[in-house]
Amino acid sequence: MKKLINKSIILSLFLALTACNDWLNVSPKTDMKAEDLFSTEAGFRDALIGVYALMATDNLYGKNLSYAYLDVLAQYYTSPHSNTSAGYEHNLKNAAAYNYTETGEESRILSIWSSHFSAIANINQALLFIDENRDVFTSEDIHHIYKGEFLSLRALLHFNVLRLFALSPMMDNQNGLNTLAIPYVEQYTNIAQPQLTVKEVLAKIVKDLLAAKDLMREREIFNESDASSPMYKRSQRMNYYAVTALLARVYLYGNDKKSALTEVKEIIGEVDGENPTSYTLATSGATATNPMFQSELIFTLDVQKLQDLSESCFSETSHSDVLLMSEKGKQTIFNASGLENDFRSSWLTATSSGKEYILTKYNNMNYIPMFKLSELYLIAAECAEDEDAYGYLNKLRNHRGLSSIEHTKDIESYIYQEYRREFLGEGQLFFYYKRKLYDIVGAEDKVGIEDLKAVYNLPIPTSEIDFGNIKN
């Protein structure tokens, strides 16, 4: 094994750690041999921090895969479709038009693909050493938690690549599970890995997540106050409950509703039962100091540069970058009858013209929500049967300032409405559209999609097709 890795490990992703706090406050190690880096517990910690740092960049979840690129694809915003007052095109115009072959979009898509697999490569390198060097850990708990964290991050990154670049299970006349998708890279190697089907990739994701759950179960401390402790701020890490939430999301994507509901209930319990965890739904509206309902957050990605990354998107003066929702779009989502008291309506603020709205939920924030309690109630509403389904949905609605819906109402349409309110600025609505095969999308419900495959599946980069034994 050491012959494969006895060389300098260039963890370039650590270069992102230029402005970090608390548990991210470490010295980057960018030019260290793998054997040296992983000779201490701190080295494994540094490797984990590097993965999170790469995830927090603008290529990935610090911008593109949260409030910007993916939400443009979901057609929340109208500004990308228009030229600026000076006649310049918006920087996301081609994305909004699903013109994935335009040069700038090809570059963006390549960076999304390569950044994911760079992080996966670093995860796999750490996993090569984590059992061989288990004696460097101060306790079995820390070893198991770190290993579970690496495995679950590998699963998370592959899952999002799968959702971006491969058919959803319902596509291809509900035969999407059997279509070729992406590789699942489990080794630290420069040898191209085989392209697997959607079903095969999902199976490997589930395998990693189940292993992570077994490793992490009942080992974490969630209220650790010592910033030097490996247990510090577990809510900013891929913790046990985040793994459980991801497993529910994965099962639902593969249409295994029974398994998804089982995972969800581990966190939120039965519809009329007691909550088995400390996570609780909000009881009041979003505020400037608590815009995203802190008691509901299961895993938040620390993005120390979030204000810098998002400023141009949410500033009226950034004409080529600003992301604006139309008045009609805002009314469709939040201002229909009965929604006046929605706890989330303050996430959008009128511009100086009063005719458009801008997202303000990230003002003065330094994190992106990755998993939230609200999603689990929506998964439960979709997976449970009869009265239980309405019970889960109504509980979420009641904790958003909304009244219950009658059991005779079309629950699917109400679940959709909650998805597009709840995940505004978080990059999840596009995946909901793709999973459900929506052909009319957007805040105004007016953007039609004729070729679902062409829109919902990003093209795998040409370099991967040419050299990676992959078919698009």
Q: What is the pLDDT of residue 31?
A: 60
Q: Judge whether 90 and 450 are in contact, CB under 8 Å.
A: no
Greater confidence (14 vs 121) lies with: 121
Q: Judge whether 419 and 434 are in contact, CB under 8 Å.
A: no
Q: Mean pLDDT, the chain, as a whole number? A: 90
Give backbone dihedrals phi and psi of 32, rounded to 5 degrees, phi first. Answer: -120, 140
Residues 390-446 have pLDDT tens digits of: 999 999 999 999 999 999 889 999 999 999 999 999 999 999 999 999 999 999 999
Is residue 25 over pLDDT 80?
no
SS3 category, 8:
strand
d(CA 402, CA 353): 29
Q: Alpha carbon 152 to chain centroid distance?
A: 13
**Tokens standing for residue 175:** 């035969």
pLDDT band at 335 (very low <50, low <70, confident <90, very high): low
Is residue 454 over pLDDT 90?
yes
What is the average per-residue pLDDT within 374-401? 97
Residues 212-248 have pLDDT tens digits of: 999 999 999 988 878 888 888 899 999 999 999 999 9
Cα angle, residue 291 at apex, residues 213 and 156 outer, rounded to 5°: 25
Which percentage of the chain shows pLDDT scores above 70? Answer: 91
In one-letter notation, the amino acid at residue 299 is F
Contacts 24+ apart (CB under 8 A), 276-280: 277/241, 278/222, 279/241, 279/373, 280/373
Among 189-198, 218-227, 333-342, 370-379, the least confident range? 333-342
Greater confidence (224 vs 139) lies with: 139
Residues 160-217 have pLDDT tens digits of: 999 999 999 999 999 999 999 999 999 998 888 999 999 999 999 999 999 999 999 9
| DSSP one-letter string for 332-394 | HHH-STT-TT-TTGGGEEE-TTSSEEEE-TTTT--EEEEEEHHHHHHHHHHHS-HHHHHHHHH
Instruction: Give, for 446, the enclosing helix (H) or strand (E).
Output: none
This prediction has a pTM of 0.93
**Tokens standing for residue 240:** 């046990």
Is residue 154 over pLDDT 60?
yes
Position of tokens 């494994």? 44
Q: What is the pLDDT of residue 467?
A: 74
Q: Residue 196 to residues 151, 162, 165, 251, 399: CA-CA distances in angstroms? A: 19, 10, 12, 18, 41
